Amino acid sequence: MRYTRRRFLKQSLAVGVGLAMGVRGQRQALRIGVVLPYSGVYAQLGQDITDGMLLYFEEVKNQAGGRPIQLVREDETADPSVALRKVTKLVEQDRVDLLTGLVSTASAYAVRDYVHNSRNVLIVSNAGGNALTRERKSPYIFRTSFTSWQISFPLGRWMAERVTKRVAVVAADYAFGRESVAAFKESFLAAGGQVIQETYTPLGSTDFSAVLTRLLQARPGAVFGFLAGSDAAIFLRQYAQFGLKDMIPLATTGFTVEEDVIRAVGQAAEGAYSSLHWAVRLALPENQRFVQAFRKRFGRTPSVYAMQGYDTARVIVEAVNALQGDLANKDKLVEALEGVRFRGPRGLFEFDPKTHQVIQNIYVRQVRNVGSELANVVVADLGRVRDPG
């Protein structure tokens, strides 16, 4: 379903104005500032995260701590300067109680100092740059998604032990791509692996023939990669066209073969391995309920981004409930968030009190044909993974 401006405004009115009015004598609305891309290349991610949040809020009747929930939304556009301007507006003009969202790591880095210095709580629902839980961490910033290290480091050892000790690397040439490769190599090399070739491709690449030719010549035991969006789809199609799909196993971070990419490329993705903190077919009762409810509510299969939105909403509700709706003291809100712990679609969810990064299981998935439908099937549980901070 296309995320149009009309749909965005309609939902904002339904959740915002309607809830803000409430009923006579009702407590003041809990105002949540949501900064996500609702236009541009990442609009689908913004839609998925928002819909996941809406689903959970509807399940708790749009209430938290005895207060009606009001979402105040702003379009991040995946532009760091825009994100900072929108966050500033939400805090200083809209007087929101807390902030959430941010798909782009660059946007998250851009707002970090403002959030930290103004002591406003931010729950990041996607952006995965390592620095937010390391040198740029803040007591007022939490993250419900992942770090590049968290999803790539565990795959390196698994690859060395289960697939091959001789790999080539292909990754997008920007911070998250290079961070992902560094994390993979850290564990892969420690397990006795060897990287025989390393290639970084510019964003927006449409012709991978030179890269694929070098792979054919090198004949690695497997390829590790990180590409996303249209780059991932084009690479997978060309990988199959060059005959590599049935010759050299492909293992990636999960976003390269997430559900939206599989739908775009079909059989070209079949057989690919990936590591991520969730899979649509993860055999947990909480996940099965979530997937069924999301499909019923929105008419499509949820992505990992929708799951992150769903869990983000639950984190907010549980923390606000613990404080009985009183968020006047931001340090108490931080303490309440640190204490949130539950079993959700991805498994056990809890924050590391040192970094405020979620501690979570990382799964190895493989794209398989299940009942005439291609899907990521979990083939290994790599256990609980805590970002080192």
pTM above 0.85, yes or no: yes
Instruction: State the residue range of the domain holding 381.
Output: 149-276+363-385
380 CB neighbour count, 10 Å cutoff: 16
**Residues of the chain with pLDDT > 70: what percent?**
93
Q: Do 182 and 247 lie in a common domain?
A: yes
Q: Do 127 and 234 lie in a common domain?
A: no
| Measured CA angle at 93 (ends 10, 144), to 5 deg | 65
HSE-up (13 A, CA, CB side) for residue 63: 10
What confidence tens digit (pLDDT) does each residue in 336-356 have? 999 999 999 999 999 999 999
Q: Do 272 and 287 lie in a common domain?
A: no
**195: three-class secondary structure by DSSP:** strand
What confidence tens digit (pLDDT) does each residue in 259-306 have? 888 989 999 999 999 999 999 999 999 999 999 999 999 999 999 999
d(CA 327, CA 333): 6
Q: Do 24 and 141 lie in a common domain?
A: yes
Q: Do 233 and 376 lie in a common domain?
A: yes
Q: List, in sequence order, every beta strand (DSSP E) within the chain.
A: 30-36, 63-64, 67-75, 98-101, 122-124, 141-143, 166-172, 194-201, 222-226, 250-253, 273-276, 341-344, 347-351, 358-370, 373-385
- Minimum mean pLDDT range among 34-48, 77-91, 190-204: 34-48
352 CB neighbour count, 10 Å cutoff: 17
C-alpha to C-alpha distances, 94 to 106, 240, 290, 336, 350, nearest whole angstrom: 24, 50, 32, 23, 30
Q: Do 311 and 372 lie in a common domain?
A: no
Q: Do 59 and 177 lie in a common domain?
A: no
Q: Do 367 and 330 lie in a common domain?
A: no
Q: Do 108 and 157 lie in a common domain?
A: no
CATH number for the domain spanning 201: value is: 3.40.50.2300
Radius of gyration of the chain (CA): 21
Q: Do 210 and 264 lie in a common domain?
A: yes
Contact 157, 127 (CB under 8 A): no
Confidence class for position 228, pLDDT limits 50, 70, 90: confident
Total number of domains constituting the chain: 2
Residue whose pair of structure tokens reads 């407590």 in the numeric block = 27
Q: Do 257 and 374 lie in a common domain?
A: yes
Q: Do 226 and 375 lie in a common domain?
A: yes
